[in-house]
Structure 1
Amino acid sequence: MSTINDVSRESWILNTFPEWGTYLNEEIEAEDVKPGTVSMWWLGCTGIWLKSEGGANILCDLWCGTGKRTHGSGKMVKGHQMMRMSGVQKQQPNLRTQPFVIDPFAVKNVDALVVTHIHSDHLDINTAAAVNQNCPDAKFIGPQEVVNTWIKWGVPEEKTIVVHPGDEVKIKDVNIVALEAFDRTALVTWSNPEESLKGKMPQDMNEIAVNYLFETPGGNIYHAGDSHYSNMFAKHGNEHKIDVCLGAYGENPRGITDKVTSVDMLRMAEALNAEVVIPVHHDIWANFMADPKEITAIWNFKKDRLKYKFKPYIWQVGGKFTFPDNKDDLEFNFDRGFDDAFVIDNDTPFPSFL
């Protein structure tokens, strides 16, 4: 038995983080995706784990980092992306608000790590290291600047695949289609502040960001990364069959247009001809948090008049979504347990009147 003399800051960290331990790793590994379906788990921010009926395991945008950890000087570091976006000087309270629901260094059987764009809450060195160490055959798929960063970190170049809009990569029974991204923020917040301050930012969106369509036998999942709303979503909806779309939802601080707000989440789903729209990213940053039920409320307000053919789905971090099984659900809730209550004699005395 431990005593307080055995406890240190280091032991506390190792015994506590990630907060879910390997619970979700084990769940994903044990999941047997039935024919005609596709399953995915929300890992926080825009991170998802997609698993197909053919056993493809695709990890997208998993971020294992933190936001603010100290008040510091109270001022933005020169070159910070928020400073470049809006001229703000006061340090922003972008604290991480979600636990780590998966242990990146316990991942197994990952066939591909797919990243949408160059921002550090999507392109994560911890995830890259874990996948590289644990899954030697995994492919690292992303736009040019993402791949450049992986190679700088030490990912072998032969493991990487650069994609531009229109490119396709086959991973077992999943066809990954790269599509245009609409992330104007990325154009002015390239992840290297020193170079961007010298005017050396990439000017081609296709080199720093893409959206993805994951075509699977059980349904097609559209991942919009950090894209803002664009009329070009209609082009993607016309050219591809899209069953589920995920978009970066949030409440933008004053002077910032970075996340898709509730009305435009619905416009995105309609433009893409999707059956289900799922807001993500709203969970992770304290200064961008938004209530996703606002989307459901507006959908209810408009659905009969505008004849919406899709439904919103309010997810929880760490939860599973299976298409088409959950396509008519409006909200996720974790298993409450106790389905087998009283199958054995309990040892709690109950008064006879109960």
Structure 2
Amino acid sequence: MTGSDWGDWLPRAVADADPETVALWYLGCNGFAIKGSEGTVLWIDPYVGTGDPPRTVRMIPIPFDPADVDVADAVLATHEHTDHVHGPSQAPILAATDADFIAPDDSLTVAREEECWTDEWDVEADAFLEVTEGDELRIGEFTVHVVETQDADATHPVGYVIEHPSGTVFHAGDSKPSDSFPELAEAFDVDLGILAFGSVGTVPDKETGEPIRTKWYSDENEIVEAATDLELDRLVPTHWDMWKGLTADPTALHEHVRSFSHPNRLEMVEIGDRIDL
């Protein structure tokens, strides 16, 4: 991991903000900082690594140094992939803020056993909180529901439905359309849904280095299918900016979603942008 390209303005923006409802800052890749009107701050899948060149090559700036984050109540991970569970990106936040690291079992295995966060960083063992589908957590002013998603590339992915008096946010991780989504639409009135979007490209194989056809994220049809099943009011496509060879143009979705009942609004964000409920 290299230093931040942007200094400390993004962590300062989160710390200094006083939102009337809920504010979200897009961190690039699939990361978000979320702050409520009472000051509770959640960080979901923050990643400031450069990937593993030449296989995965980061295409966007590193927007902050995790050592500059001093406001966090919890860091949540959706699944075990390195751009979602990454010690250099997340452990310093835990160490500086005493936040909990909330994640499913396979993600915690990475943090505890593979990357040894308690040895490499000043992270306490009781900072790790394992969750699974069906769990409900109260974190400050937020109620967080752990829900089923569908990501065949991950071993145990989950999504987070985050309820607040001002509205409801759903972070689906890298999920493609899931059989669980229509049921989620019945259980929750999701105001803003965060869904990964990308293109099909060639990425070098981990073992041989040979380029192989790779599809990690939803395409145009899949992301609209997911948004429709979830009955989203606002759709925020993510992850399209991150990896060389798999980037996509989210503005192409403007015309694609017009003939469908959902989402009602397509919300475009670039790394560093803030949006509010």
| TM-based fold match above 0.5 | yes
Measure, in 1, the Cα distance between the counterparts of 2:239 and 2:182. 22
Query: Which structure's CA Rg is the greater one?
Result: 1
Deviation at 1:129, TM superposition (A): 2.2
Structure 1 residues 275-320: Cα deviation after superposition (integer angstroms, max 9, x where no partner)? 10010001000111000011112123x1xxx444611111111000
2:183 is matched with which residue: 209, 223, 235?
Answer: 235
- Amino acid of the structure 1 residue aligned with 2:231: N
Assess, with a 3 A threshold, how the Cα gap between structure 1 residues 69 and 184 changes in structure 2: closer, same or farther.
Answer: closer
Deviation at 1:233, TM superposition (A): 1.2
* Number of the residue aligned with 2:236: 278
- Amino acid of the structure 1 residue aligned with 2:148: E
Secondary structure of 1:184 counterpart: coil
2:104 is matched with which residue: 133, 137, 143?
Answer: 143
Deviation at 1:235, TM superposition (A): 1.4
* Number of the residue aligned with 1:64: 48
* Number of the residue aligned with 1:341: none
2:220 is matched with which residue: 239, 252, 262?
Answer: 262
CA contact (8 A) 1:246 1:278 kept: yes
How many matched pairs?
259
Q: Are 1:209 and 2:157 counterparts?
A: yes
Deviation at 1:139, TM superposition (A): 1.0
Measure, in 2, the Cα distance between the counterparts of 1:127 and 1:68. 15
Superposition pairs of residues 1-354 of structure 1, within 5 angstroms = 17-34=3-20, 37-69=21-53, 92=55, 94-136=56-98, 138-152=99-113, 153=116, 154=118, 155-187=123-155, 208-253=156-201, 255-300=213-258, 302=259, 306-308=260-262, 310-323=264-277
Deviation at 1:256, TM superposition (A): 3.1
CA contact (8 A) 1:266 1:277 kept: no
CA contact (8 A) 1:128 1:150 kept: no
CA contact (8 A) 2:176 2:223 kept: no
CA contact (8 A) 2:224 2:263 kept: no
Secondary structure of 2:153 counterpart: helix
CA contact (8 A) 1:270 1:310 kept: no
- Amino acid of the structure 2 residue aligned with 1:317: I
Structure 1 residues 39-82: Cα deviation after superposition (integer angstroms, max 9, x where no partner)? 10000100000000111100000111112445xxxxxxxxxxxx
CA contact (8 A) 1:263 1:295 kept: no
- Amino acid of the structure 1 residue aligned with 2:46: L
CA contact (8 A) 2:49 2:89 kept: no
Secondary structure of 1:44 counterpart: coil
Measure, in 2, the Cα distance between the counterparts of 1:109 and 1:319. 18
CA contact (8 A) 1:244 1:276 kept: yes
Measure, in 2, the Cα distance between the counterparts of 1:283 and 1:69. 16
Measure, in 2, the Cα distance between the counterparts of 1:245 and 1:157. 32
- Amino acid of the structure 2 residue aligned with 1:265: I
Assess, with a 3 A threshold, how the Cα gap between structure 1 residues 309 and 61 changes in structure 2: closer, same or farther.
Answer: closer
Percentage of matched positions with identical amino acids: 26
CA contact (8 A) 2:193 2:234 kept: yes
- Amino acid of the structure 2 residue aligned with 1:253: G
Measure, in 1, the Cα distance between the counterparts of 2:25 and 2:101. 20
Deviation at 1:157, TM superposition (A): 2.6
TM-score (norm 2): 0.89
Which one has a larger percent helix, Structure 1 or Structure 2? 1
Which one has a larger percent strand, Structure 1 or Structure 2? 2
Measure, in 2, the Cα distance between the counterparts of 1:122 and 1:19. 20
CA contact (8 A) 2:77 2:84 kept: yes
* Number of the residue aligned with 1:201: none
